Amino acid sequence: MKVIAHRGYSGHYPENTLLAIAKALDADCDGIEIDLYRVEDTLVVIHDSDVSRTTNGNGLLSQFSLQQLLQLDAGNGESVPTLWQVLQLVNNQCLLNIELKGADTAELFLQELAHAEQQLGVNPGLLLISSFNHHLLRLIQQHRPDLKLGALTASLPLDYAAFASALGAYSINCDKDFINEALVQDAHRRGLEVWVYTVNSVQRALQLQQMGVDAIFCNYPAEARGWLQAGN
């Protein structure tokens, strides 16, 4: 089972910062997950539409200019990174799961990816683009059918993984509180991987491994690798 560092190594370092991402790269993880919003014409890596929880600022992200946002402290003196900085840092060393949060991120992401492929040599095969907003995923798919898509859900849908198949997704990315064996089996029958967020306990990680889940998102990626090795 793959271990994906959730918001970087966010259990020990400030989430979605370059520090947390660098520490995740040092840890034995298979991939790193980040969250994306747009501020002006730049894609920035932050989880909430309000800066208050994760920075020393207050208020809605939409009230900040890019310059103001980048001056905030996101923890340990780190600033909110741009997607470009993250792509430079990760440098194709592992899989990068980019979760589109803002409804206005998809077109800009496609433009930026094209530049990053040319200028940074980003390998699109190492990206998984996910979102709870499946309209954004459809738009990405229309323009870049080569990209892997992760169809996020926070529910147990009546028709299980059918919606993810309809999107042409690579994986269904599920909440740990709603996953069950029927969903895993339905996804696998459809050729989809099953990734589960956010799994921070050894018992839950081992249960999900037993269930045949393909990847877990964890705030403690190095610890999770240890749990899984000890459980085998």
Position among 78, 99, 112, 214 found at the interface with Mg ion (CB under 5 A): 99
- The H helix count followed by the E strand count for the chain is 9, 9
Helix (H) or strand (E) holding 225: helix 221-231
Tell me which residue has its CB nearest to ligand G3P: 197
Name the residue nearer to ligand G3P (CB basis): 47 or 143.
Answer: 47
For residue 26 the two structure tokens come to: 């040092």
Catalytic annotation on 47? yes
Q: Is 15 in the site for Mg ion (CB under 5 A)?
A: no
Separation CA 89–CA 85 (nearest Å): 6
Q: Minimum Å distance from CB 137 to ligand G3P?
A: 13
Separation CA 216–CA 4 (nearest Å): 6
Q: Minimum Å distance from CB 161 to Mg ion?
A: 19
How many other β-carbons are positioned within 10 Å of the β-carbon of residue 160?
Answer: 19
Contact 58, 76 (CB under 8 A): no
Site for Mg ion in 141-200 (CB under 5 A): none
Name the residue nearer to ligand G3P (CB basis): 27 or 196.
Answer: 196
Residue 15 touches which member of ligand G3P, Mg ion, none, C-beta under 5-8 Å by kind: none
Position among 35, 78, 112, 223 found at the interface with Mg ion (CB under 5 A): 35
Which residue out of 47, 115, 135, 143 is catalytically annotated? 47
DSSP 78: P
Q: Minimum Å distance from CB 33 to ligand G3P?
A: 5
Q: Minimum Å distance from CB 34 to ligand G3P?
A: 9
Separation CA 217–CA 7 (nearest Å): 9
Beta bridge partner(s), residue 42? 39
Name the residue nearer to Mg ion (CB basis): 64 or 195.
Answer: 195
Separation CA 203–CA 205 (nearest Å): 5
Q: Minimum Å distance from CB 33 to Mg ion?
A: 6
Q: End-to-end distance of the chain based on CA atoms, in angstroms?
A: 11
134's CB contacts (< 8 A; 6+ apart) are 151, 163, 167
Give contact residues for ligand G3P (rule: CB under 6 A).
6, 33, 35, 47, 99, 130, 152, 173, 197-198, 217
The residue range among 19-27, 30-38, 105-113, 121-129 that interacts with Mg ion, by the rule CB under 5 A, is 30-38
Catalytic residues: 6, 47
